[in-house]
Chain A
Amino acid sequence: MATDEKAKNMNVQTEIKTADNGVNVDALLGARAALTDAPAAAQFTWRAECDWKGGVHSRSTVKGFFGLGEEQAHNGEFTIDADHPPQFAASDKGATPVEILLSALASCLTAGVASVAQNRGIQLHSVRAKVEGDMDIAGILGIDADVRNGFSAIRVSFEIDADAPQDEIAAVVAQSQKRSAMFDIITNPTNVHVSVN
């Protein structure tokens, strides 16, 4: 094979892709192309409402959001209960908020893995993310002012069965982090404004 033809083949993806991970990549790429020329439509606002249920139990409700220039609605109303376990003298009617955050990170990265794999023509058979967050609760209990309230470290470990070599799977996982909202939210600071009405 001639040198430049070989180089060309290595850089241009010509193989036929038949993977089906259930992600409509064409629609996503179409949206990307459309929103490139309509930056206002790309401005989204996500919302949740949270009601106190007693003790440290609360229930959040998610139904609508703003995006593509107008109000949007989910197919239904989703609720998420948050509470704390008996070790915190609580009623344990739901996961703790920090566990919900860990699951949000895992869900976001997993969605990214499925989408990136689909885009790269990699068939997935199973994906499991195990997430752990380390926390010294001396922070939230106010025992030690030098300890932060939040996680000191978060670890995500993926087990992925897919039709691709290990390096390609690792590249999919790397790309899913690069494009993940939750990964960005957790790794970078965000200004948070809290008001009382």
Chain B
Amino acid sequence: MKRTTTAIIGAGQSGLAMSHELTLAGVDHVILERGQIANSWRKERWDSLRLLTPNWMNGLHGHDYKGTDHDGYMHVAELINAFDASAAKSGAPVRAETTVLSVDGTPGAYRVQTDQGALSCNSVVMANGACATPKIPAFASQLPDQVQSFTPQTYKRPAQLPDGKVLVVGASASGMQLAREIQQSGRQVVLAVGTHSRFPRNYRDADITMWLEIIGATTIPYTEVDDIERVRRTPSLTLVADETIDLNSLQDLGVEITGRLVAINDGRALFSGSLANHCAAADLKMNRLLESIDDWVDAADLTNLVAPVQRYVPTRVPTAPRLSMDLAAEGFGAVLWATGYRPDFNWLELPVFDRKGNLKHDGGVVAEGLYAMGLPYLRQRKSTFIDGACDDARALAAHLTAGLARSIAA
């Protein structure tokens, strides 16, 4: 069996950032990648996707954004190029086309079985992504035969969809962007809306994600957050490149909005009557964030140097959002499940899961020598941002190397 000190699983922004840190610390390691570098960026994203964060925030570890459009939002293809350039420069030890089949063992002696042979190692870093498997409700199996199912991983472009109306389930960043793109392609979209967030793309002269950075909202440590489990379940920021996307702008384009999809019975999709409250909650949370920004501006004495305070029209809620639809009879050809993702740790054969099957971890430390990266609010809100991987890699690499020192001393 081959030996290495640390096996990193996944060559995305997290895995490469960890590799960079371990190289600096002189820790022998390999990166096991089921496909190519940035695999899910290459294979599991739709054609038009651009990043939701401005370019200055999209630097890979040890490889800052080098272009000229600092405030732009790069296309995923440009990010993939950056990945390739960064990996070529660093010479990261990536074993491509190597799928992990199982991980077991004990701290200091983990066994990683891959389809290219086994590996024994002191520590394992699981950087295989938070968005491995779309979370689709069980009642999806009740869809009428003539209605096709898609997820943001299988959807590439509107032309790929069958004729007919499209039900987009979930008003996440993915759901809203895809609802917009599909509606603009000439199909009627109905968007089922549950808990969601709302942000202006720009506020008082700056990108909203820049404000989140400035006021410190992206870097509050997980240890200082009230009810971290709830925060980790909160959907990601609902944003799209270049402009504001919200339920008002989607309705302006003709998208019909209704409540959360709660069941499919005899071909009828049933929706919750709670749309108004979800919209009110999103508006209130947006206003609370804008108030924190305003407070920061005032405290920093910048009130007259940036654009004035602004508040936005409340989300327009239809008076009687539809509670049910006969999908086939009403001509729906497809349902797009933008209902979130879960990471895939099926190969992890260790007792590190809670009763709901979620990985238990303390800021990314799962057990001695066993780490996770890239999960929602792993250590801070930035943990799922491209450049957030750098901070987390530094913190966890420090823990990892300290562990190595402990095991040598012991």
Q: Which of B262, B263, B284, B299 contacts A171 (CB 8 A)?
A: B284
Q: In the complex, which residues of chain B have a beta carbon less than 8 angstroms from the beta carbon of A171?
A: 281, 284, 288
A48 at the interface (CB under 8 A from B): no
With A and B bound together, what is the CA distance between A19 and B281 in angstroms?
Answer: 23
Establish whether residues B274 and A8, one from each chain, have CB atoms under 8 Å apart when the complex forms.
no
Establish whether residues A8 and B263, one from each chain, have CB atoms under 8 Å apart when the complex forms.
no
Establish whether residues A177 and B274, one from each chain, have CB atoms under 8 Å apart when the complex forms.
yes
Q: Which of A7, A174, A178 contacts B220 (CB 8 A)?
A: A7
- Closest B residue, CB atoms, query A155: B276
Establish whether residues B280 and A170, one from each chain, have CB atoms under 8 Å apart when the complex forms.
yes
With A and B bound together, what is the CA distance between A11 and B216 in angstroms?
Answer: 10
DSSP class of B's interface residues: helix, strand, loop or mixed? mixed
Establish whether residues A189 and B220, one from each chain, have CB atoms under 8 Å apart when the complex forms.
no
A196 at the interface (CB under 8 A from B): no
Q: Which of A4, A8, A11, A187 contacts B259 (CB 8 A)?
A: A187
With A and B bound together, what is the CA distance between A152 and B220 in angstroms?
Answer: 45
- What number of residue pairs across chains A and B have CB atoms under 8 A from each other? 68
Establish whether residues A1 and B280, one from each chain, have CB atoms under 8 Å apart when the complex forms.
no
Q: In the complex, which residues of chain A have a beta carbon less than 8 angstroms from the beta carbon of B281?
A: 171, 174-175, 178
A141 at the interface (CB under 8 A from B): no
Q: In the complex, which residues of chain B have a beta carbon less than 8 angstroms from the beta carbon of A188?
A: 262, 272-274
Tell me the A1-20 residues at the B interface (CB within 8 Å): 1, 3-4, 6-8, 10-13
A153 at the interface (CB under 8 A from B): yes
Q: In the complex, which residues of chain B have a beta carbon less than 8 angstroms from the beta carbon of A100?
A: none
- Closest A residue, CB atoms, query B195: A178
With A and B bound together, what is the CA distance between A167 and B299 in angstroms?
Answer: 22
B270 at the interface (CB under 8 A from A): yes
With A and B bound together, what is the CA distance between A184 and B270 in angstroms?
Answer: 14
Tell me the B176-197 residues at the A interface (CB within 8 Å): none
- Closest B residue, CB atoms, query A171: B284
| Minimal beta-carbon separation of A63 from chain B (angstroms) | 32
A76 at the interface (CB under 8 A from B): no
DSSP class of A's interface residues: helix, strand, loop or mixed? helix
| Minimal beta-carbon separation of A8 from chain B (angstroms) | 7
Q: Which of B214, B215, B265, B355 contacts A10 (CB 8 A)?
A: B215
Establish whether residues A189 and B262, one from each chain, have CB atoms under 8 Å apart when the complex forms.
yes
Interface size for B (C-beta < 8 A) is: 30
| Minimal beta-carbon separation of B352 from chain A (angstroms) | 17
| Minimal beta-carbon separation of B49 from chain A (angstroms) | 30
Establish whether residues B259 and A10, one from each chain, have CB atoms under 8 Å apart when the complex forms.
no
Establish whether residues B299 and A1, one from each chain, have CB atoms under 8 Å apart when the complex forms.
yes
With A and B bound together, what is the CA distance between A12 and B306 in angstroms?
Answer: 27
Q: In the complex, which residues of chain B have a beta carbon less than 8 angstroms from the beta carbon of A86?
A: none
A55 at the interface (CB under 8 A from B): no
Residue in A7, A170, A178 whose Cβ sees the most chain B Cβ within 10 Å: A7
Tell me the B286-334 residues at the A interface (CB within 8 Å): 287-288, 292, 295-296, 299-300, 320
With A and B bound together, what is the CA distance between A184 and B194 in angstroms?
Answer: 13
Establish whether residues A3 and B355, one from each chain, have CB atoms under 8 Å apart when the complex forms.
no
Q: In the complex, which residues of chain B have a beta carbon less than 8 angstroms from the beta carbon of A11?
A: 216-217, 220, 224-225
Establish whether residues A177 and B273, one from each chain, have CB atoms under 8 Å apart when the complex forms.
no
| Minimal beta-carbon separation of B314 from chain A (angstroms) | 11
With A and B bound together, what is the CA distance between A187 and B259 in angstroms?
Answer: 9
Tell me the B212-269 residues at the A interface (CB within 8 Å): 214-217, 219-220, 224-226, 259, 262-263, 265
Lowest 6 A-B CB distances belong to which pairs? A7-B216, A187-B273, A177-B277, A174-B281, A187-B274, A4-B216
- Using a CB–CB cutoff of 8 Å, the interface residues on chain B facing chain A are 214-217, 219-220, 224-226, 259, 262-263, 265, 270, 272-274, 277, 280-281, 284, 287-288, 292, 295-296, 299-300, 320, 355
* 14 further contact pairs, Cβ within 8 A, besides A7-B220, A11-B225: A3-B215, A6-B215, A6-B216, A8-B220, A12-B226, A13-B226, A174-B277, A174-B284, A183-B277, A184-B274, A186-B273, A187-B273, A188-B274, A189-B263
